[in-house]
Amino acid sequence: MKAALFLISLFVLSIMLFQSDKVNRQELSNYNTQDSELALLMREMHEQAKLLKLLLVNGEDIDQYEADVDFILEAEPTRPSVQGDEFESFARYFLKTNKEIYQNPGIDNYNIMVESCVACHKEFCPGPVRTIQKLRIKVPS
């Protein structure tokens, strides 16, 4: 009797473990572990923004450092739900603010560009918001 109870318990336990493993594998397959085009572009844009911040704080010329960011409208996102009119509006506003930095370099225009990034990320991908906020240049009062 004890042997039968042990075998039944072992059988139930193995089913539970198999089901648990099956769910974990399914969750992992739903998560894209490769970087999307948009994620890679965002990282490049972040590096460019850090460089712009350094140059602006030091009063250096930024014309030669203009990044190619127009790809933001075409880059494949990690999650398809990011695509659409709302994201496109945020992206177009970012492109406008980014262009303004090079036409009229200055800390105020730079901070407006950073805020455009924060606003979009609050809607679509909040994870890096704090990191992006650190890009702001503090203006003395």
The answer as to whether 88 is a domain residue is yes
Domain coverage including residue 21:
1-31
Tell me if the pTM is above 0.75.
Answer: no
- The predicted pLDDT at position 81 comes to 86
> 98: closest CA among 39, 47, 52, 41?
52
Q: Which of 7-11, 26-30, 38-42 has the highest mean pLDDT?
A: 38-42
Q: Do 26 and 62 belong together in one domain?
A: no
Q: Into how many domains does the chain fold?
A: 2
Q: Do 80 and 15 belong together in one domain?
A: no
pLDDT tens-digit map of 53-102:
999 999 998 876 666 799 999 999 999 888 899 999 999 999 999 999 98
Mean pLDDT of 22-46: 68
Distance CA 61, CA 5 (A): 79
Q: Do 76 and 27 belong together in one domain?
A: no
pLDDT tens-digit map of 13-23:
556 555 544 44
Side-chain-side CA neighbours of residue 111 (13 Å): 8
